[in-house]
């Protein structure tokens, strides 16, 4: 559990908090003036960010650990109602859910990516398509309108995006499906095309699952992120700009 970056960041945050207050006490016992709340929060952030840097965590963790204590101190002076913080916490919870474990943030793809995916879908026959981490459902809804002969499904673990996608499909009268769950529990053998827009941290495990389960001739697509050690068979630069779409055709040797 401690290997999870979010848990490590929380650990460093706590160390920074304790260390900053201990240094404040030491300074006072040495006859120095006590730290101001801002100085304490600044020191707190510096210690946490330094520990994250020494741990070689991603740069955004350094930034979060550096800025958050001072930002929290500033927000405290706004005297906002306590229920607002609970509301924000609950909203973030249902939006991001298990991001701390999966390391896959909520970040939807767009029309440029969907156009690129549509151009790679097998033609001339119905297909079964799965979008893992389908977010608000945009890709599945868009592609299913283009290919009404085929079956399009999205799976999303976070409750709020999943609910939004279900509502969008119902309002549009679209027969695509949205499942709430963990894509790691799916059997990829059930699908001709699996599309992912995840994060670098998830790509190795995704390839292991895809190469073990997907049928020969099926297609794994990843928007933006490549798979270390597995050169893609297809690289498409979307016409509308943005990151590249990578594709791997599953061969018998990959299984």
What is the number of domains present in the chain? 2
Burial class (CB in 10 A: 0-12, 13-18, 19+), 250: buried
**pTM confidence score:** 0.71
Please give the structure tokens belonging to residue 220.
Answer: 């794994």
Structural domain boundaries, residue 29? 5-78
pLDDT digits (tens), the chain, 255 positions: 456 777 788 889 999 999 999 999 999 999 899 999 889 999 999 999 999 999 888 777 888 899 989 888 888 878 878 777 777 777 666 666 565 555 556 677 889 999 999 999 999 999 999 999 999 999 999 999 999 999 999 999 888 889 999 999 999 999 999 999 999 999 999 999 999 998 888 899 999 999 999 999 999 999 999 999 999 999 999 987 789 999 999 987 655
Whether residue 101 lies inside any domain: the answer is no
Residue 124 to residue 50: CA distance in whole angstroms = 56
Please tell me the chain's helix, strand, coil percentages from 3-state DSSP, rounded to the nearest 5. Answer: 55, 15, 35
| Residue 72: predicted pLDDT | 86
The whole-angstrom separation of Cα 185 and Cα 155 is 10
Domain containing 211 — which CATH number? 3.40.50.150
Angstrom distance (rounded) from CA 181 to CA 98: 11
Considering the domain boundaries, does residue 104 fall inside one?
Answer: no
* 121 and 242 housed in the same domain: yes
């Amino acid at each position: 559990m401690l290997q999870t970056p979010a848990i490590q960041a929380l650990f460093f945050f706590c160390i920074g908090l304790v260390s900053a207050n201990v240094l404040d006490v030491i300074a006072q016992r040495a006859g120095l003036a006590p730290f101001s709340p801002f100085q304490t929060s600044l020191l707190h952030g510096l210690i946490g960010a330094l520990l994250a840097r020494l741990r070689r965590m991603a740069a955004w963790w350094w930034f979060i650990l550096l800025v958050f204590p001072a930002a929290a101190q500033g927000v405290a002076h706004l005297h906002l109602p306590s229920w607002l913080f609970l509301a924000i916490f609950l909203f973030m919870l249902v939006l991001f859910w298990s991001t701390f474990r999966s390391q896959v943030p909520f970040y939807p793809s767009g029309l440029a990516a969907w156009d690129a995916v549509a151009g790679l879908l097998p033609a001339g026959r119905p297909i079964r398509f799965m979008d893992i981490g389908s977010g608000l459902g945009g890709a599945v809804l868009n592609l299913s309108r283009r290919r009404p002969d085929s079956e399009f499904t999205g799976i999303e673990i976070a409750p709020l995006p999943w609910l939004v996608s279900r509502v969008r499909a119902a309002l549009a009268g679209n027969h695509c499906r949205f499942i709430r769950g963990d894509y790691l529990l799916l059997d990829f053998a059930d699908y001709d095309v699996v599309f992912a827009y995840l994060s670098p941290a998830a790509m190795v495990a995704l390839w292991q699952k895809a190469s073990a389960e997907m049928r020969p001739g099926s297609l794994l697509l990843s928007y933006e992120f490549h798979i270390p050690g597995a050169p893609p068979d297809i690289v498409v630069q979307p016409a509308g700009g943005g990151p590249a779409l990578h594709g791997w055709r599953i061969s018998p040797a990959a299984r």
